[in-house]
Amino acid sequence: MMLRFQFSGVLKNQNYKIIANIPYNITGAILKKFLTAEHQPERMVLMVQHEVGKRIVARDAKESILSISVKAYGEPKLVMKVPARYFSPAPNVDSAVITINNISKKAFIPNTKPVKSSALNILDSEGLEERFWKIVKMGFAHKRKKLSGNLKSLNFEHEETYISIKDKRAEDLPLEMWISLAKI
């Protein structure tokens, strides 16, 4: 129901927050729907599967597409763990309450100065947000490969930002570096 709801017309000129205990199997889809929406919520407070909550905040400094995607739009925080014993019937997994604050698309404000790069030949007709997602998906396409292999087709070889990270894996890159690559 939540994924099919067309909220853009209903909430167009209003600020709103989402507070929900969401079905764990559609966590990613719900996050994508609302974080990438034209009219985003101000804040989200969600009960998610505990392991997913930990992945979103990436406390171990190992990023994932999920953690990068949430951090690109807001500031996630793991508020508390909710053990399975507090539910009846008890599920097989623990839950967690997470918040996502300061939701916006400010990370995707493009550079004001033009940048020349052969990599943009592939991506020049798209906006920064679309370029960002293409690069992130390419970077995580083969998790165990280094970025030099995953991003080879973008011809970033002579870009200073790329040179500094090419021998790393996608999971080792913080959000800021992904945005820098998209802005090249």
CATH of domain 108-183: 1.10.8.100
**Could you give the residue range(s) of every CATH 3.40.50.150 domain in the chain?**
17-104
Taking all residues of the chain, what is their mean pLDDT, rounded to a whole number?
Answer: 86
Least confident of 17-21, 127-131, 155-159, 178-182: 155-159
The 10s digit of each residue's pLDDT in 29-39 is: 999 999 999 89
Q: 111: helix, coil or strand? A: coil
CATH 1.10.8.100 residue spans of the chain: 108-183
Please answer whether residues 162 and 156 qualify as being in contact, where contact means their C-beta atoms are separated by less than 8 angstroms: yes
- Phi and psi angles of residue 49, each rounded to the nearest 5 degrees, phi first: -60, 140
Which pLDDT band holds residue 9 (cuts at 50, 70, 90)?
low
CA distances from 136 to 63, 69, 78, 133, 176 (A): 11, 9, 23, 5, 12
Asked if 82 and 94 touch (Cβ cutoff 8 Å), the reply is yes
Top-ranked range on mean pLDDT: pick from 117-121, 122-126, 145-149: 145-149
Is 17-104 assigned to CATH 3.40.630.30? no
Inter-residue long-range contacts of 159-164, CB under 8 Å, 24+ positions, other chains counted: 159/117, 159/119, 159/184
Instruction: State if pTM tops 0.85.
Output: no
Cis status, amide bond into 174, omega within 30 of 0? no
